Amino acid sequence: MNPIELTTTQMANAIASGALDPVSAVEAAFERIDARESQVHAWAHLDRDNALAEAKAMAAERKAGNLRGPLHGVPVGIKDVFHARDMPTLANSRTMDGSLRYPDSGVAAALRKAGAIILGKCTTVEFAGMGVPPASTNPWNSAHTGGGSSSGSGVAVGARMIPVAIGTQTGGSNIRPAAYNGVAGLKPSYGALSRKGMLPVAWSLDHPGLIARAAEDLELVFTALAKIRPAPVTPPGTWRIGVLRGFFSEKSSPDMAASFEAALGKLSASGMDVVEVPLPALFAAHRSIHHLIMSTEMAVYHAPRIAEHRDTMTERHRLMAEAFALVPAGYYLQALRAKRLLQQAMAALFADVHVLAMPTTPDTAPLGLETTGDASFQVAWSLTGFPTTTIASGLASNGLPVGLQFAGAPGTDLLVIKAAMAAEAVLGRLTLPD
């Protein structure tokens, strides 16, 4: 059994049964990191000594018949905007003090309570969207981006370094890198996972999220980390999938459109009921609404940083913060009102379907590292706070992964995950070639 080939669920079960011990799991993860990190650049910080010490302690606990939680001994990574004890929080910014240490963030504490072993911090775009991207590359083709701003989280899972990682999404920063790297992702309902100890981008839009090998992993990890443990969900006898076209069809590349239609065809042939659902008129304004809210809140958070660290900030970070500070307060307030109206209009789309389906991204991961890709297919769900998942639905003609995205009504996180699991059972998972 090679631990790097296991999903989170498989690894957790193997450790619980005694077929795999936590030390072997952590050592295999570090061996894989050592073999691939120089090509993909997924990590901002590794905490080798503490991770191995924790693994040894958990191995002894397992032998004594004790498990800390459902993720006992599973190695994980967290995006470098979450605080974690004994580790720096740098957020890919020269303005952060690497000598400082902080108590565990809410997500880090929840991971430890569930038994996970945090190997380190995964790379991020500067302040999760306020500046320069990291050097992280796509494990399917290193000439292409691994996405962002949860760059390292997506790349580390996609490169089989770890089976699951924590990312964040304010625009499209969690679901997009999951899709680009050919794995599964969850952006939960707004507020479902703790934001305590997480550096904010925009308080009313920030979502901690999950990136994992398989859709079933999302259920395991989300249930373990959710602030309020969700009640189990029984899948419907027949899935009713609402298809969103319009905006999503117009922006999709020919490759992405063909892949999406092929995936829908397979789901329909498997017995799922696939129907088209029209977008509400207000959807046309969703990107403007999102931009006004996000930019205003970003500017407020970073104003003190400009005053204190102006000379050490990257120019891109400073210019963005200064420009966003010019948004009139009245525009921000109107955007908040429009957001509530859009939430109501979008919630009505689920009256006759279980979930909505669309491509995860307009195209595959772009060439080069200057951009982390197009977030436009995730923005509506970050704005409304509705839960979304992505699974790999195949490979494009350029050999890069494409994704299928599901969205659900507020609070239906487990139902959306179940839909992803059902679709993944039909479409299969991708195997990264070495």
Beta-carbon-side half-sphere exposure of residue 74 (alpha carbons within 13 Å): 34
CA gyration radius, the chain: 20
Measuring CA to CA, which residue among 414, 412, 410, 433 is closest to residue 422? 414
Q: Where are the beta strands (DSSP E) in 188-277?
A: 207-212, 240-243, 273-276
Cβ atoms of 433 and 401 within 8 Å: the answer is no
* Distance separating alpha carbons of residues 407 and 415, to the nearest angstrom: 10
Torsion angle in degrees (nearest 10) through CA of 258, 264, 268, 274: -130
Give which of 382, 47, 373, 425 is closest to 181, Cα–Cα.
Answer: 373
> Which residue of the set 79, 121, 187, 418 is catalytic?
79
Q: Of 93, 105, 136, 149, which is the active-site residue? A: 149
**Contact between 150 and 209 (Cβ < 8 Å):** yes
Q: Which residues pair with 187 in a beta bridge?
A: 388
Specify which residues 166 forms β-bridges with: 78, 210
Q: In angstroms, rounded to a whole number, what is the distance separating the alpha carbons of residues 193 and 109?
A: 12
Residues 6 or more apart in contact with residue 34 via CB below 8 angstroms: none
Place of tokens 């952590």: 26
Contact present, 123 and 134 (Cβ < 8 Å) = yes
**CA separation for the pair 15, 157 (Å, rounded):** 19
Task: Identify whether 339 is a catalytic site residue.
Answer: no
| Residue 149 annotated as catalytic | yes
DSSP assignment, residue 82?
A: B
Catalytic residue selected from 150, 173, 382, 393: 173
Q: Look up 56 and say whether it is catalytic.
A: no
Q: Cite the active site residues.
A: 79, 149, 173
